[in-house]
Amino acid sequence: MKIRLLTGCVLFSASVMVHAQSVAKSYKAAIHGNPISPCVFCADPTALEFDGRVYVYGSNDHQQFIANGKKDSNGYGDIKSLVVFSSDDMVNWTFHGTIDVGKVCSSWGWRFAASWAPSVTWRVNDLGQNEFFLYFANSGGSVGMIKASSPVGPWKSPLSKPLIDSNTPGVSPCNWIFDPGVVIDDEGTGWIAFGGGDPNSQGNQLMPGNSRIAKLKKSMTELDGKAVNLPAPYLFEASELNMMNGRYVYTYNTSWSDRNDWNSYAKRGSAPAPSTCSMCYMVTDNPLDPDAWEYKGEYVPNPGNFGFGWGNNHTHLQKFAGNYYLFYHSMVLEQNMKTGASGFRSIGVEKVTVQEDKQLIGKVTMTNNGPQAVHNLNPYILQQAETMATSGGISYEDFKNISKVTYVSSLGNDASSNLQVKMNAGAWTMLRNVDFGSIGARAFTLKASGKGTLEIRLKSVNAQPAATVQFNSTSMEEHNITIDPTLFNGVKSVFFVFTEAENAQFDAWQFTQDDPDGLSVIHKDEQQSEVYGVSGIRQTDRGGKGIYIKNGKKYLRR
């Protein structure tokens, strides 16, 4: 897996075995669900559901953080990639790396400037193939798009220039041509909304006049006709689109302006004026008719505190596993880190109540807790080291540009690259809701290289080890130990703590369920081969509980 996870603490000499006197500090509590990443600054989330997982994409604020030397304010100009995370339980998140949009769009030449605020959708085309379309703000002056056949790439640019700019019919006057929101409706037609900024030459505070919506051609790479005005009161930025019970739902972030002219808005109904920098929404049956849009109100008031508020937000509403979730960004991670830098955001998520038949979105309060798990994590299938609820002492590094001694990370890689985790003494990762069942686990497999000691701790990162793995190998190998099933049963929080490490790379792990039938001989299935997805994440096409019977022998699934 080409990108490495490096500890954010001091890097030790590879020639010396170091024993950790204490575990590394975490900036996200083990009991908290937010932010989804404990160490990566990212923002402006969008999401999709595919094959039982929710995939989240966002602006790579961390790239700017590193470019700034981990100080000063976020100027956004060096953000030329997007982050990708996924989860199937909403509490443990897998990092898939980043999409190097600048590289993908290199054929644009000077026309490419940055990649902010993505919006993503997907479909099955007429040939039965999956197609994924990702649209992004190319700085503040245009909208670009890339596509793939997988939610994690590899991504390609079907165009040699932005999809939308100031010369696109129907766009001008629009101050900021950015923040796209895309959806494919129930008829299979694509739509894209975009725009933002202070009132344009024809607008005012109530109706800034900068929001646009357009129909997309079947290819999803061209507009089908001109863009039209979308009359969103107090619009500032952060467009997104959803379909709900056959209707189009447009969400956006409001401006800093006063609300003195609210009573002049004829379509306000009984809705009060939205608070500044809040999230509001509108619905319609006919996106291209400005008069058909109905203002529905505010669903995320600005919370007005440093950790969650003050600045503008950007949200995405996503239905997953029968529930609606709202992805957003906050300053919580930055606040916890206390680096002295400012404006570096992190993605969070909350469960939200939605009445689809009435297109009503319930009010959302941002929290540290986040949502409950959709289901428990299965430890008896292969799990990647990049999957975690929180961690201590880790950051991300571009494998291709890594030096022998490095103190910064770049996140300048592609999501189609492989990932592995480099662990130094004291670094750790943690997973929530790991369900060992009533029988419990009797064996553990660590896939790692280098030399070190891994302690498996339960309930707390400072707990006594429930099991210990010592490993020493020059290549990525499996290291197996037996464990006590009476300790590894029920639903637990699991901490992987590397107390000693010398050039240690953590790749994957798996538990084996105890033997209720008394069969004790375990055979390696020589027919089992490692299968890699397009993201470089190892996949397994075998479910179950880690073992199976074939020809009278017991086999261990890997």
Q: What is the pLDDT along the chain (558 residues), one digit of tens a residue?
A: 333 343 333 222 333 344 445 899 999 999 999 999 998 899 999 999 999 999 999 999 988 988 888 899 999 999 999 999 999 999 999 988 889 899 999 999 999 999 999 999 999 999 999 999 999 999 999 999 999 999 988 899 999 999 999 999 999 999 999 999 999 999 999 999 999 999 999 999 999 999 999 999 999 999 999 999 999 999 999 999 999 999 999 999 999 999 999 999 999 999 999 999 999 999 999 999 999 999 999 999 987 755 665 578 999 999 999 999 999 999 999 999 998 899 999 999 999 999 999 999 999 999 999 999 999 999 999 998 889 999 998 765 443 333 333 333 334 434 434 445 668 899 999 999 999 999 999 999 999 989 999 999 999 999 999 999 999 999 889 999 999 999 999 999 999 999 999 988 888 999 999 986 665 444 444 434 333 333 334 444 333 334 433 444 444 444
Instruction: Express the helix, strand and coil content of the chain in percent, nearest 5 each.
Output: 5, 40, 55
Dihedral over Cα of 67, 72, 77, 80: its sign: positive
SS3 274: coil
CA–CA distance from 255 to each of 163, 240, 262, 382 (Å)? 26, 16, 13, 47
Provide the 10 A C-beta neighbour count for residue 5.
27
Residues in the chain: 558
Residues 6 or more apart whose Cβ sits within 8 Å of residue 51 = none
The Cβ-side half-sphere exposure at 396, using a 13 Å CA radius, reads 32
At 192, the amino acid letter reads: I
Beta strand pairing call for 419-423 and 3-6 = parallel
| Contact (CB, 8 A) for 32 and 432 | no
Of residues 194, 134, 189, 199, the one with CA closest to residue 170: 194
Residue that the structure tokens 């055979």 belong to: 523
Full DSSP string of 97-111 = EEE-HHHHTGGGGGG
Is the previous residue joined to 208 through a cis bond, with omega within 30 degrees of 0?
Answer: no
Residue that the structure tokens 């996200």 belong to: 28
Tokens (6 digits) for 426 = 């004291």
| Contact (CB, 8 A) for 436 and 381 | no
CA–CA separation, 296 vs 13, rounded Å?
59
The reported pTM is: 0.89
Of residues 267, 279, 251, the one with CA closest to residue 194: 251
CA–CA separation, 196 vs 65, rounded Å?
25
Dihedral over Cα of 185, 187, 190, 196: its sign: negative
Tokens (6 digits) for 192 = 């894209």
CA–CA separation, 276 vs 257, rounded Å?
7
Q: 103 φ, ψ to 5°? A: -70, -45
**Measured at the alpha carbon of residue 102, what is the angle toward residues 101 and 107, in degrees to the nearest 5?**
110
SS3 64: helix
End-to-end CA distance of the chain: 18
